[in-house]
Amino acid sequence: MTETVRTAELVSVVIPVYNSPSLEALVHRIASAFEGRSERFEIILVDDGSTDPAVWPALDSLARGGQSIRAVQLTRNFGQQAATLCGMREARGDVVITMDDDLQHDPADIPLLLAQREHDIVIGQLVRSEHGPFRRLASTAKGLFDRAIIGIPKGVRLSSFRLLRRTVVDGILTMRATHPFLPALMFHVSKDVVGVPVTHSRRPSGRSGYTFSRLLRLFSNLVISNSSILLRVAAFAGLLLACVSFGLAAAVIYRKIVHGISVQGWTSLFASTLLIGGAVLMSVGVIGEYLIRIIESSDSRPIYFIRRRAGNCPET
């Protein structure tokens, strides 16, 4: 009778990199998190078009120096969402963990995520955020929209420190989105999610790459590319204005017929025209933005391009 030898589970750690100065320390701490554990691991570092010329040589050196490390360089900066998707497509693991490159996510918390891997999605929930006031305010506002649009289960707060089972990763990779927003994609695949408290450290050096324009672009990807909420709001506003306009017109006609009173006032008429015209133009603009995204999607335009790779493929 032949005994079946079960291969240890492979965990892929995907990290989008942009001008990070802490790569060697990050890789060392991830390796330390797996010491004494039964799982095998691989680290996939995706250089998202870093402007610092020292980043790719550092990634290349790390990939050549360790069997469990691979590096990918994109042709330009495509954004964290696209870079993370690139890493997920490169990953071979039974589960995939994503995290930031700035050591604010503590690799020592990886076992906390793995302990809940019977769930499809495990979110590392920051006990205390070390982001600045503006970033915390923007995150709070986006969190409200996340809950309303994506339908995140109550009590779960999003972060980019997360674990996804292979089923969820494969499901995400089958979906075509020119402006991807990972939480919307993964919750479309599964709602089996649990939150795990994790620490959030201060950024050791540099500053966050999330400027106001980047946050605004990420928000637009959520609202426009992953939901129809603006179309519904525009339709509701148009219906509401139409009802108000019909009501005012009926009141004017009633007063004229019943009481013989003619309503004067070009100012109010002009203001009403501007209000309704502005609402119409806003609705046209929203619809136009949706049409642009639909055209981009129909073009099957890739969301990233790879310049080169470094490192070995994991053992099978």
| DSSP result, 152-170 | PPTT----S-EEEEHHHHH
Among the listed residues 196, 198, 161, the one whose alpha carbon sits nearest the alpha carbon of residue 182: 161
Which amino acid type is present at position 91?
A
Alpha-carbon distances, residue 173 vs 12, 27, 177, 196, 238 (angstroms) = 15, 26, 10, 25, 37
What are the pLDDT tens digits along the chain (316 aa)?
A: 444 445 679 999 999 999 988 899 999 999 999 999 999 999 999 999 999 999 999 999 999 987 899 999 999 999 999 999 999 999 999 999 999 998 889 999 999 999 999 999 999 988 765 555 655 665 566 566 666 667 777 778 888 999 999 999 999 999 887 778 898 899 889 999 999 999 877 665 555 555 556 666 666 666 666 666 666 677 677 767 767 776 766 776 777 777 776 656 655 666 567 667 767 767 777 777 777 667 666 666 788 999 999 987 544 3
Going through the chain in order, the beta strands assigned E by DSSP cover 10-17, 40-47, 69-74, 95-98, 121-126, 162-165, 193-198, 306-311
Q: What tokens appear for 29 in the block?
A: 């701490």
**Residue 82 half-sphere exposure toward CB, CA atoms < 13 A:** 23
Sign (positive/negative) of CA torsion 218, 224, 227, 233?
A: positive
Q: How far apart are CA 194 and CA 296, in angstroms?
A: 34
Q: What tokens appear for 132 in the block?
A: 């600045």
Q: How far apart are CA 50 and CA 53, in angstroms?
A: 7
Alpha-carbon distances, residue 102 vs 18, 70, 106, 157 (angstroms) = 9, 18, 10, 20
> 288-292 long-range contacts, Cβ below 8 Å, gap at least 24?
289/224, 289/230, 290/224, 290/228, 290/230, 290/231
Q: What is the pTM of this model?
A: 0.72
